[in-house]
Chains A and B, each alone.
Chain A
Amino acid sequence: MWLLFFLLFSSPVLAQDSTDLYTQYRTDYFFQRDNYQKDYLDYLNKKDTYAQFGTVTAEKDKITATKNTFLSQNLMLKAYLMALRTTLNDSPENQNKLQQYENWLDTQNQLISNLNSTSGLQTWAHTFRVQFVSIQKELFTGLVQGQINRRLRTLENIKRLAENANVEWSSNYTNKESIVNENFRLALKETQRNQREDRFSEFYPEAKSYLNQADTQLKGMISDLKSTIIKNTK
């Protein structure tokens, strides 16, 4: 009886799609971010105490707090990259690069666990500082690429709708389409900006402005298509 009840009313386990995964990883990222912020505040306190008293105990506390901050920082970064990766199903190359950094962060956390001296932690901090430039570059490139992919899907859907409604893809649409593609090209060009070894040069706001311009054109295309369809049905 119970078995029958269970079979009748239990919902089947479905494979998680990318949206579910994104929501899951996003939640995880916010959790890890909170942890990082706690550890970071603790680190600042311990650092101050050590600067004030300079005792052996204070130094040990500072080392522990630094390690914890590094560990939670890497976990937070990894969670972010994982969430971002789920939005890049159309760009396996970007996904692979993000995955490489996720693996790197995992390896680093194993290394950090074995560090027990201030000098060891300083060396690691220098290594991370250099690597973080590459991570940020890949992270923001992924964000831009994900947004381009979304807009490309919108463009495809506009074309499909025009085709279904027997609307000719006239020069008006072609012009706007080429402007959209040009904006994508320029946004991607921003992501290729040369970076210094230890300092990240931000490019996301500039790339985002090109994406916004592409949005304007896409919205114009949708509006034109609406007008044409309404006109054709009259």
Chain B
Amino acid sequence: MEEKLYQNIDLPQNNPLKIPEDFPKETKKKPLNPKIILLIALGIFIFILLIASLIVTQIRQQNPNINAIPTIVPITATPTNNDSLIPTQYQEDFKNLEKSFEEDPDLPAPQIDIEVGL
């Protein structure tokens, strides 16, 4: 065989220890930013809540008895003294007594700038 002059004779010894060259390369995984983890967790939580609320709404629509949630009902004080029960001869007196609370003078006090002329 005719020797090629440009042939690198050391080529076969490029890997003298015979370390396999096709071993899997170690891929470094970047750790996730904690903020992103938190965002994902929140997103999942909101999604679960959304699903849960949808389910609850559907169940309530199917079963109207569940809709009867105890709500705060404002209790209006029932007047114990019905004015019609007062003897007629005193009704006018009571009206006048109650009206007397509106008789304070409705005169706003004067506002004066005491810096005028100084």
A→B interface (CB under 8 Å): 22, 26, 29, 33, 36, 40, 43, 66, 69-70, 73, 76-77, 80, 83-84, 87, 121-122, 124-126, 128-129, 132, 139-140, 143, 146-147, 150, 153-154, 157-158, 161, 164-165, 204, 215, 218-219, 222-223, 226-227, 229-230, 233
Q: Bound state CA distance, A222 and B80, in angstroms?
A: 13
In contact, A132 and B97 (Cβ under 8 angstroms): no
**Interface hit among B15-23, B49-57, B107-115:** B107-115
How many Å from the CB of B86 to the closest CB on chain A? 6
The residue that A77 contacts in the complex, of B83, B90, B110, B117, with Cβ under 8 A, is B110
B→A interface (CB under 8 Å): 80-83, 85-87, 90, 93-94, 96-98, 100-101, 103-105, 107, 109-110, 112-114, 116-118
Q: Bound state CA distance, A147 and B102, in angstroms?
A: 11
In contact, A150 and B104 (Cβ under 8 angstroms): yes
The residue that B116 contacts in the complex, of A43, A80, A139, A229, with Cβ under 8 A, is A43
In contact, B86 and A125 (Cβ under 8 angstroms): no
Q: Bound state CA distance, A43 and B115, in angstroms?
A: 11
The residue that B117 contacts in the complex, of A83, A121, A227, with Cβ under 8 A, is A121
In contact, B117 and A125 (Cβ under 8 angstroms): yes
Q: Bound state CA distance, A66 and B115, in angstroms?
A: 11
Tell me which residues across on chain B come within 8 A of A29, comparing CB atoms. 107, 110
Tell me which residues across on chain B come within 8 A of A223, comparing CB atoms. 81
